[in-house]
Amino acid sequence: MDIHIENCNSGNIGNKGRLARWGVNIETTCALCQQGTETIQHSFFECEMTGTIWQQLLHWQGIQRKKLKWQEELAWIQRAAKGRSGGATLCRMTLAAVVYYIWQERNNTIFKQKIRTSASIVRMIIQEIHIRATMFPRLERTITKENWHLDTMEQ
Ligand SMILES: [Zn+2]
């Protein structure tokens, strides 16, 4: 599996960074956590918001450990996501969903001023994976084994 975000460690993402390079003075603070500078490195490796979401999704996958630093986490994912087992498929799908939802959330926050909680993003990701799992019988079996109750999550 290729994880391309590993290869773009630096550089601003999106329009804000580009405008800033042209001398247009626009904040490049991360829209998700309002703390770090918004770079690829920050959004996918350091951001509190991404970290919280990933931690909850690890637990959802039945992986009971604290999240690692992102570089270590990516190395772990590359091992865990190999193969055709239900668990490996779930891991790949979860990672893809996190990257997609974080990007979408970042855009929503900037352009629509809509802010969602990490819990509601986790809930959306899990719901989407449940829907997708119906197309992959092996994955569906893995997911039904997961001891996760959507209803108990706070909004
Ligand atoms: Zn951030």
Model confidence over 108-145: pLDDT tens digits? 888 887 789 999 999 999 999 988 888 887 777 777 76
- What pLDDT score does 119 carry? 94
**43 CA → ligand 1 middle, Å:** 5
Q: What is the pLDDT of residue 145?
A: 63
- Spell 56-69 as b/e; 16+ CB within 10 A means b: bbbbbbeeeeebee
Instruction: Give residue-wise pLDDT tens across range 33-68.
Output: 888 888 877 887 789 999 999 999 998 888 888 888
pLDDT tens across 59-113, in order? Answer: 888 888 888 887 888 889 888 888 888 888 889 999 999 999 998 998 888 888 7
C-alpha 116 to ligand 1 mean position (Å): 14
Using the structure block, give the residue that is written with the tokens 């799908």: 93
Distance 20 CA to ligand 1 centre (A): 18
What whole-number distance in Å separates Cα of residue 63 and Cα of residue 81?
Answer: 13
Chain CA centroid to CA 126, Å: 12
C-alpha 51 to ligand 1 mean position (Å)? 9
Give the distance (Å) from ligand 1 centre to CA of residue 106: 9
